[in-house]
Structure 1
Amino acid sequence: MAQYIPTLDYYSNSLPKACTIFLHHYADDGLFRVHSTRSICSSSVQKVASSSHRLADLEVGKEYELVISTYAGLCRYRVGDILQVTGFHNAAPQVRFLRRKNVLLSIDSDKTDEAELQKAIDNTTELLREFNTSVVEYTSFADTKSFPGHYVIYWELLVKDPALSALSHEVLDRCCLAMEDSMNSVYRQCRVADNSIGPLEIRVVKSGTFEELMDYAISRGASINQYKAPRCVNFSPIMELLDSRVESVHFSPALPQWTPERRR
């Protein structure tokens, strides 16, 4: 939920923030402690292996998917959180959250996960800040109908002081390029050398669009307590809703930076 920190800073005038939940893992299913007798499924970015490991047997630097069993009836339930082991406290691993499993954008050989997409969004903050503007919500999809295919990012913006803001088409084009410069080297190689990915596109939607998206999801049975804005979409009715609220469209005006790696 780190993407909401700038919004919290805005409404709280940058007051210090601290989470009250330090000793528990927090998920939609509730609060739970993870003891060393629990299991974690070993995983990679693309595929989760079938083997499981005790927490004490995990390796620092490796990535794992959490699996839990509860008294409420969940048996070896795959939470869907990908964690990385950063160290140990006695025999208990210390972990950090990396991303949700299988939230990816891909056109060719590129693979962009939620954490990398969030980083790219964050790196556009400086460009928007001088115009008293920030990204309130966003989602994305990989457009493969065009050739070459390209990433499409939907932005809902918060203009903090419209009287002082003069956010131009050129600035938003530069935001597209800033996002591309933040992508991994495989993405940038596909853009620069292989020409297999087209310029990144940002579609700015009207204020309140993501609230409408939430209302639509709830009308289809989603829980209001567990709803989160999707970071990647491919469901036609949702995309039609987003496209019907688009105010402006922007493309990366140049190629991102990329340098071929020298072979030894």
Structure 2
Amino acid sequence: MSLSSDLKSLDEMKKVLEDLTLNVKQVQDDLLEEILAHNANTEYLQRFLHGRSDKELFKKNVPIVTYKDVEPYIERVANGEPSDVISAYPITRFTFSSGTSGGKRKLLPFNMKYLENIIFISKLHSFVICRHINDAEQGKVLRFDFIKPESTTPSGLPAVPVSTNVLKSDYFRNLASKHHTSPNEITFCGDSKQSMYCHLLSGLVQRKDVVSVSAAFASALVRAIDFLKEYWKELCSNIRLGQVSEWIEDISCRNCVSEILGGPNPELANLIEKECNQISWEGIITRLWPKTKFIECIVTGQMTQYISTLEFYSNKLPIICMNYLSSETALGINLNPLCKPQDVSYTFMPNMAYFEFLLVDEVNKVEIIVDLVDVKLGCYYEALVTSFTGLYRYRMEDVLLVTGFYNNAPQFRFIHRNDVALSIDVETTTEEELLKAVANGKMVLESSDLTLTDFTWYADISTVPGHYVLYWELKAKKKSTILELDEKLLTECCCTVEETFDFLYRKFRSKDGLIGALEIRVVQPGTFDSVMNFFISEGSSLVQYKTPICMRSIHALAILEDKVFARFFSDKPPPF
């Protein structure tokens, strides 16, 4: 989020942070008591608590649930039943999760408590940035935000991606109008292409004011640079003439961007043209926006693949990954924003939700659940959330590693999602392993003229035996070079990827013959943009979109298959 000039003083914010993180147990216990006192008589909790609100009864009687368990209750409210089916606080609208991690969009309740939490995290975020980066609040943010038009539930309640609900709130409207290069009219444009173009045009005109370049995910920033590569000549023409392209038909966008342009500016157009016309785009962000101090976006999980690309475009500016947010709740914040992207850990804020943690014990398979203050350093957990939005002991499906503590508040590193995995037989290959395998495969490409731009996985059981399929979109490192594929090199990539997997996969592949040779299917350039456009047409938000690590959509797979133009297989089983 943006930096806010109306924050409490740094000393006041520091005191808030210290109080919260020193008194984690008390804050958590008080929060749970408040949640239960308000919601004990909802239809959902009444069955388990019988109107009471004590912690021990809650832990004994209220079950741990997944989205599938609570979906019927959520749908009842969406269909017109009162909010107190699950929440004593009025549910005024719903949010959609992106649907690109677990394969299905989730419809989740949204109320003012959620928004209050996001506002708190935003203020804390600004405090932390100001602490670590001098004069970060003195300029503007070139922020690539987009919204989705509202749909409605059968009862008429609005339903949009969570980012849209947040961006449309009064607080964030005011924040953006003060601190972003793009007026709200650009963010609220319903056409993402027009919005992207106007974000860039406004940002280029105000290039001397930009102190940070930001988006929700690293993939969105890379997509913005790719868009700039395609449209920089037209953008320069707009700036030179002081006129917006005719295809920008959104009247609000046209009017506000025309005002920002302020008339012809051939000098600026020539400068941008000179930078964009160079053979290499290395450092293009700092060349176009010279006062940029940092890049901000999520670079954990599957976004790690974009770190090297962003470093290339930004002359290795700090890449800051600040907030741990989800469609269900806000969870924590990175209190060490200048750490390396691979070292990002989030300090859980005890006032966001009541947190419990299910120990991930693959060896003993024992179900151990502990409170936030009782997690152990070096252990892996899955977070359970109880919130004011009607979720009680809800499994987040995120596996986290405890990396340290800030006062008494645990710090967690995101490892992988539980519901993202591949399997042919009884083996399970997790998101973490799949990402590591791709990273190893990319290293094989380093000596070539090829670079990986996007990927996804699929377990193909139509063959006997079934096998893992890795879809790769590749491009030449030099933009003028024709894409040429070396069979020996790509076969080596297949073998290297396979060698990354665990003992059980390698046993089934090498000794038992239950898994077939890993396959890399190379798709045509632009294929993953088509996949993204498909998911957006299905309701995903451009802000929240992430290429699925494991592809489950039949329609998206059909898009990929239609664009496959080369196939490569590992030519030997991995060492066993």
Normalized against structure 1, the TM-score is what?
A: 0.85
Q: Is the aligned partner of 1:255 residue 2:563?
A: no
State the shift of 1:68 in Å. 3.4
Q: Is the 8 A contact 1:131 1:166 kept in 2?
A: no
State the shift of 1:62 in Å. 2.5
**What residue is the counterpart of 2:74 in the other structure?**
none
Determine the C-alpha separation between the residues in 1 that align with 2:441 and 2:550.
19
Q: Is the aligned partner of 1:4 residue 2:303?
A: no
Q: Is the 8 A contact 1:41 1:49 kept in 2?
A: no
State the shift of 1:144 in Å. 1.2
**What residue is the counterpart of 1:262 in the other structure?**
none
State the shift of 1:79 in Å. 3.3
Q: Which amino acid aligns with 1:7?
A: T
Structure (1 or 2) with the greater strand fraction: 1
**What residue is the counterpart of 2:530 in the other structure?**
212
**What residue is the counterpart of 1:200 in the other structure?**
518
State the shift of 1:15 in Å. 1.4
Identity %: 35
- Cα displacement string for residues 155-207 of structure 1 (whole angstroms, at most 9, x for unaligned residues): 11121125397531111111000001111111111111111111000000111
Q: Is the 8 A contact 2:509 2:574 kept in 1?
A: yes
Q: Is the aligned partner of 1:55 residue 2:376?
A: no
Determine the C-alpha separation between the residues in 1 that align with 2:553 and 2:483.
34
Q: Is the aligned partner of 1:178 residue 2:496?
A: yes
State the shift of 1:91 in Å. 2.6
Q: Which amino acid aligns with 2:574?
A: P
- Structure 1 segments unaligned to the other structure (5+ residues): 259-264
Q: 1:66 to 1:253 in 2, by over 3 A?
A: same
Determine the C-alpha separation between the residues in 2 that align with 1:219 and 1:169.
36
Q: Is the aligned partner of 1:221 residue 2:539?
A: yes
Q: Which amino acid aligns with 1:212?
A: S
Q: Is the 8 A contact 2:494 2:518 kept in 1?
A: yes
Determine the C-alpha separation between the residues in 2 that align with 1:91 and 1:9.
34
SS at match of 1:123: helix
State the shift of 1:255 in Å. 1.3
SS at match of 1:194: coil
Q: Is the 8 A contact 1:42 1:64 kept in 2?
A: yes
Q: Is the 8 A contact 1:201 1:249 kept in 2?
A: yes
Q: Which amino acid aligns with 2:434?
A: L
SS at match of 1:247: strand
| Residues 16-55 of structure 1 mapped to structure 2, 5 A cutoff | 16-19=317-320, 21=322, 24-27=323-326, 32-33=331-332, 34-36=348-350, 38-44=354-360, 52-55=369-372
Determine the C-alpha separation between the residues in 2 that align with 1:98 and 1:245.
31
SS at match of 1:108: coil
SS at match of 2:448: coil
State the shift of 1:7 in Å. 2.2
Q: Is the aligned partner of 1:80 residue 2:397?
A: yes
Q: Is the 8 A contact 1:131 1:165 kept in 2?
A: no
State the shift of 1:235 in Å. 2.3
Q: Is the 8 A contact 1:173 1:252 kept in 2?
A: yes
Query: Which residue, out of 141, 151, 164, partners 2:458?
Result: 141
Determine the C-alpha separation between the residues in 2 that align with 1:193 and 1:214.
39
Normalized against structure 2, the TM-score is what?
A: 0.41
**What residue is the counterpart of 1:102 in the other structure?**
419
Q: Which amino acid aligns with 2:381?
A: Y
**What residue is the counterpart of 1:131 in the other structure?**
448
SS at match of 1:163: coil
Q: Is the 8 A contact 2:490 2:568 kept in 1?
A: yes
Q: Is the 8 A contact 1:68 1:74 kept in 2?
A: no
Q: Is the 8 A contact 2:358 2:384 kept in 1?
A: no
Q: 1:200 to 1:93 in 2, by over 3 A?
A: same
Determine the C-alpha separation between the residues in 2 that align with 1:143 and 1:64.
30
State the shift of 1:49 in Å. 8.7
Q: Which amino acid aligns with 1:40?
A: E
**What residue is the counterpart of 1:15 in the other structure?**
316
Structure 1 vs Structure 2 CA RMSD: 2.5
Q: Which amino acid aligns with 2:317?
A: P
State the shift of 1:81 in Å. 1.8
Task: Point out the more displaced range, 187-196 or 53-62.
Answer: 53-62
Determine the C-alpha separation between the residues in 1 that align with 2:446 and 2:521.
19
- Cα displacement string for residues 50-74 of structure 1 (whole angstroms, at most 9, x for unaligned residues): 8742111112333222233455x25
Residue correspondences, number: 253
**What residue is the counterpart of 2:437 in the other structure?**
120
- Cα displacement string for residues 84-139 of structure 1 (whole angstroms, at most 9, x for unaligned residues): 11333443222211101210111123211111111111112222111132211111
State the shift of 1:25 in Å. 2.2
Query: Which residue, out of 212, 234, 246, partners 2:564?
Result: 246
SS at match of 2:488: helix
Determine the C-alpha separation between the residues in 1 that align with 2:318 and 2:473.
24
Q: Is the 8 A contact 1:136 1:158 kept in 2?
A: yes
Task: Point out the more displaced range, 98-107 or 219-228.
Answer: 219-228
Determine the C-alpha separation between the residues in 1 that align with 2:521 and 2:305.
18
Question: Larger C-alpha radius of gyration, 1 or 2?
Answer: 2
State the shift of 1:234 in Å. 2.5
Q: Which amino acid aligns with 1:6?
A: S
- Structure 2 segments unaligned to the other structure (5+ residues): 1-302, 333-347
Q: Is the aligned partner of 1:231 residue 2:549?
A: yes
Q: Is the 8 A contact 2:437 2:497 kept in 1?
A: yes
- Cα displacement string for residues 228-257 of structure 1 (whole angstroms, at most 9, x for unaligned residues): 111111322111111001010110011111
Structure (1 or 2) with the greater helix fraction: 2
